[in-house]
Amino acid sequence: MSSARLLCSGQGLPWGRLTALAGADTGCIPRVTRRDRIAAIFVDDLVAPAASILKQCMLSGGADALVHREVLTCRTERSNAVVYGTPANIYRGCLSLEGQPFGLGSLAEPIRKCVDGAVLPETLQVNSTVLNYSHTPIVMGILNITPDSFSDGGNYATPQAAADQALKMQEAGADIIDIGGESTRPGSRAVSVEQQKLRVVPVIKAIREVSSVPISIDTTFPEVARAAVKAGAGMINSVNGLETPGMPELAVSLELPVVLMHMKGAPETMQEKPFYRDAAGEITDYLVSRVEALVKLGMPRELILVDPGIGFGKRLEDNLELIRSLKWIAAVTGCRVLLGHSRKSFLGSITGIQKPGLRDSVSHVVTVLAEGADVVRVHDVQGTVAAFKVAGAVRGDL
């Protein structure tokens, strides 16, 4: 069975600003947007005749498809394809696909879904604060209170120091503070439930004495999550997709937002020669399975965010492919997407910057380029907010 995955989709024109300048009805924006940008959609594993028919159907709608060079000579039995064109033309091509043989009729809907994306929630409530998903992603500030975190371990070792840092991040523009009592850097070892509770609970209480900023607890253990929520956390961030026994049931019972992340293996071993045939496809399949399991238990889908897990059992090429696939991940899972790329080693592989704390500038590049990121989890909140402001000004956002 062939699948379709969105590879990229152009930014297009700033229609919000243009409709305001013309005094036009903003209701036209979805319609005109379909005409001003090019989308590229990857379709895998077609038999050669199906690839040829797909190309002809897309041409009939004004779009096109790249197929294997030997499809027309019949020297290949199978071919991948890259469908490309404006969304409006791809839609017309999909009309021609309906009723075609080789299962192409059933391919029309997933291609349209890649173009349209999913209907996603407009807001996220954490604690008593309602956050809006808009053209600027929600900013989650990272507060590491562990002695061995990869870039700032030991900097906030006391509850007071951690609370002071949380206030600084809030003042800089952080929408959520993410607190973890266990390092999950490559090679790190597990920390006991009791040790995590001793680390995170006093910090959350100290923050709650001076601020109502939304707090997320970064943990894989239900006992830690329960204690953190009791102390004042309003969101659960799970690096193992809530796979720890008891975590799914606890999350459903608390009715709080959760982040489901993909990780290959465990932190201690996850970077030992990870391999994927199709990183974006395999990781998205995993996220879909975790989302559906949670929904089946009674969790509202709008409370679930997914995280492809940049750097967690991934090669450089896997990380880059995932960043390019965020819109598609949202469309397939039906959930908002969190991107955790800040200071990660793949940035060092690209730039040669070896010290994680010096990678903030290149982290900001990814932050503003990553289309489809609804929440960004970052160390440098002030720099992130500034990067969004500059990017918005350049785009002409109102």
Percent of the chain with pLDDT over 90: 71
- 26 and 136 assigned to the same domain: no
- 239 and 387 assigned to the same domain: yes
- 11 and 135 assigned to the same domain: no
Distances (CA, A) of 220 to 148, 150, 217, 261, 339: 18, 19, 9, 11, 18
Q: Is 182 helix (H, G, I), strand (E, B) or coil?
A: coil
Instruction: Say if strands 123-126 and 304-307 run parallel, antiparallel, or are unpaired.
Output: unpaired
Q: What Rg do the C-alpha atoms of the chain give, in angstroms?
A: 22
- 364 and 288 assigned to the same domain: yes
Find the domain containing 176 and state its range. Answer: 123-395
- Helical spans, DSSP H, in the chain: 15-22, 29-33, 48-60, 87-97, 108-116, 159-172, 193-208, 222-231, 247-254, 279-297, 316-324, 326-333, 345-351, 360-369, 381-395
By the 8 A CB rule, do 56 and 83 touch? no
Q: Is 208 a catalytic residue?
A: no
**Mean pLDDT in consecutive groups of 10 residues from the start of the chain, 398 residues:** 75 77 86 82 93 97 95 91 93 95 93 85 96 92 76 69 94 96 71 91 96 96 97 96 96 97 79 86 95 97 97 94 93 95 96 95 96 96 96 78
Please tell me which residue in 208, 377, 389, 395 is annotated as part of the active site. 377
SS (H, E, C) 44-90: EEEEHHHHHHHHHHHHHCCCEEEECCCCCCCCCCEEEEEEEECHHHH
In the listed set 116, 142, 174, which residue is the last one of a domain according to the structure?
Answer: 116
- 197 and 177 assigned to the same domain: yes
Per-residue confidence (pLDDT) for residue 37, from 0 to 100 = 80
In the listed set 55, 89, 116, which residue is the last one of a domain according to the structure?
Answer: 116
Please tell me which residue in 264, 314, 344, 359 is annotated as part of the active site. 344
| Site of tokens 């607890």 | 217
* Best CA proximity match to 336, nearest among 367, 304, 308, 312: 304
Rounded to whole angstroms, the Cα distance separating 97 from 106 reads 8
In the listed set 82, 116, 150, which residue is the last one of a domain according to the structure?
Answer: 116
Per-residue confidence (pLDDT) for residue 270, from 0 to 100 = 67
Q: Is 69 a catalytic residue?
A: no
Distances (CA, A) of 272 to 97, 184, 283, 355, 373: 43, 15, 17, 21, 27
- 174 and 26 assigned to the same domain: no
The total number of structural domains in the chain stands at 2
- 244 and 292 assigned to the same domain: yes
Q: What is the CATH number of the domain that holds 74?
A: 3.30.1360
- 87 and 141 assigned to the same domain: no
- 139 and 233 assigned to the same domain: yes
By the 8 A CB rule, do 3 and 44 touch? yes
Per-residue confidence (pLDDT) for residue 256, from 0 to 100 = 97
Per-residue confidence (pLDDT) for residue 264, from 0 to 100 = 87
Instruction: Say if strands 78-85 and 64-67 run parallel, antiparallel, or are unpaired.
Output: antiparallel
- 267 and 372 assigned to the same domain: yes
Per-residue confidence (pLDDT) for residue 191, from 0 to 100 = 82
- 219 and 320 assigned to the same domain: yes
Per-residue confidence (pLDDT) for residue 185, from 0 to 100 = 64
